[in-house]
Amino acid sequence: MTLRHTLPRLDPAPLKDMARSLRFVAERGGKTLKSALPLDVLPDPAARVADAALDAVLKVGQGAERGVTALAHALLDRDEAPPTLSRPEDAEAEARFATAAHDGLRAALAHLGAESALVSEMAARRAWQAVTGAGSGQEDTATAAALFLGLIATHCLREAIWPETFALPAAEAARIATFAVLLSMLSDAAGFRALLPAAVDITLALRADLAAAGEDPALLAALFDEFRNHV
Amino acid sequence: MSDRIDIHLPETAEPLRDAIRRLRWFRQALDRQLDDLRAETGLSFAVDDRKLAQIFVNWLREVDAQKPKDASARRAYFDFVSGLMLRDLLREMPLQAGPLPPQADTTQPEYFWPEGFALTLFCLNVRAAVIEQEFNAETTLAPEFFSLRQWWTFKENVTQDSATAIGFFDVFAGNHPDWQMPDSFRHRLNAVLIEQAKAARLTE
């Protein structure tokens, strides 16, 4: 007689968040060191010693980055479409939304000019749980507005590295990227990735409206409704 | 360039009147127009995508704000919003032309004002495609479109008042321009009704 064990299904999201955090720290550490060390003003041989030391540190960072990147990819990097926001009860909707929110936010931030970004899939899950746990049946634009506020409140975007010349305040850039991701999902859940650049540019054009909407779910839902068919 | 408008727009499963109100398709359509113009004339252009998105959003809002309730005004409204798009594009100018090709003849409109020419042709093409699809009607370019004198006046006037772009667009499309309040659709409709009443009196 063969014993069959039912093993619990591994939830990769916390591991992926951890791997991504490591990669981000390695990336950021290397960049910070490079910009902070005054190599160009150090006299020789101090400059050569410092240069060699920096090189060694960067190599460690790159090695760590390669390792965690491979780990992050190995941990179920699926390219699935997010759920339709009008049907939050769909199979695996929470996980699909969280993965799509992570990928979408990173892509939106990159389109805005971010050099690197750390986005938490677990935070996206918490936002989804809070919104859909309150019950379904509302308009999908109202769901999008609630998710927008939830993703901001859970700090789904943990950190981003911006070029020195970047003009937008970081908090505003996070709101613009988050709005753009949800606008793309509302416009066409299956093809939302291809719509992201246009959604980001539309949201940038709506910068004043988005700021005026603040935390008001009704105003945010109205803005989603006005532009969902124009991405 | 012939007086028949050569329509070469990206494919879409939607009616063109809907596709043109999606930024992604709008950008693709403009890119294709610029590619065609590059192939035909040797002109090159850089597009400011962010500026284009801002123009697009402002245009959408004005299209909704002035939309007539009367279905019989649809055709006139398509003409109007095409001119409105040209006004907004010329006012904010999302294009920058590269250096003219060596053989460029600046007495030709496309070399005299490359950015203005490209955007005007784009708006005329989109209008022609929508009208063909919605009303099964062909459109042609008016002779004024090929006149350097007309383009010289067009550029001069638009620099001072971008709303005049709508009037020039009407001239190029062979429509009667409204120079008084070119960016008001209600005023345009009233002007058309007055003209029709005058014509009716003359035939009585």
Instruction: Give this complex's ipTM.
Output: 0.89
CB-nearest to A195 from B24, B54, B58 is: B24
Query: How many structural domains comprise chain B?
Result: 1
Q: Give residue ranges of B with CB < 8 Å to any A CB.
A: 18, 21-24, 27, 49-50, 52-54, 56-58, 60
Short-list B53, B194, B183, B17, CA closest to A112: B53
- Is B117 contained in some domain? yes
Q: Check: CB of residue A75 under 8 Å from CB of residue A164.
A: no
Contact A144, A224 (CB under 8 A): yes
Q: Residue A198 and residue B24: Cβ atoms within 8 Å?
A: yes
What percentage of chain B has pLDDT greater than the value 90?
83
State the pLDDT at residue B199: 74
For residue A30, report the phi and psi dihedrals to the nearest 5 degrees: -60, -45
pLDDT band for position B192 (50/70/90)?
confident
Q: How far is A132 from chain B (nearest CA, A)?
A: 29
> Of the ranges A181-195, A214-228, B1-15, B24-38, which one carries the lowest mean pLDDT score?
B1-15
Does B98 map to a domain? yes
B50/A201 touch (CB, cutoff 8 Å), yes or no? yes
Average pLDDT value over all residues in chain B: 93
Interface probe with B: pick from A183, A187, A202, most Cβ of B within 10 Å: A202
Rg (CA), chain A: 21
Tell me what the mean pLDDT of segment B3-10 comes to. 72
Q: Specify if B100 maps to a domain.
A: yes
Which residue ranges of chain A lie beneath pLDDT 50? none
pLDDT at site A1: 56
- Residues in chain B with CB shorter than 8 Å from the CB of A204 are 50, 53-54
- A223 touches B: beta carbon within 8 Å: no
Domain extent, residue B34, equals: 16-203
Write the pLDDT tens digit of every residue in A93-141. 999 999 999 999 999 999 999 999 999 999 999 999 999 887 667 899 9
pLDDT value, residue B44: 98
Residue B89 lies in a domain: yes
- Per-residue pLDDT, B151: 98
**Cis-peptide into A45, omega within 30 deg:** yes
At residue A6, the pLDDT reads 63
- Is the residue at B180 inside a domain? yes
Report pLDDT for B203: 73
Q: What is the pLDDT of residue B4?
A: 60
Give the list of residues 6+ apart from residue B146 with CB closer than 8 angstroms, or none: B1, B3, B109
pLDDT digits (tens, 9 = 90+) for B98-116: 999 998 999 999 999 999 9
Which has the higher per-residue pLDDT, B45 or B204?
B45
CA distance A144 to A203: 14
User: Is B10 a member of any domain?
Assistant: no
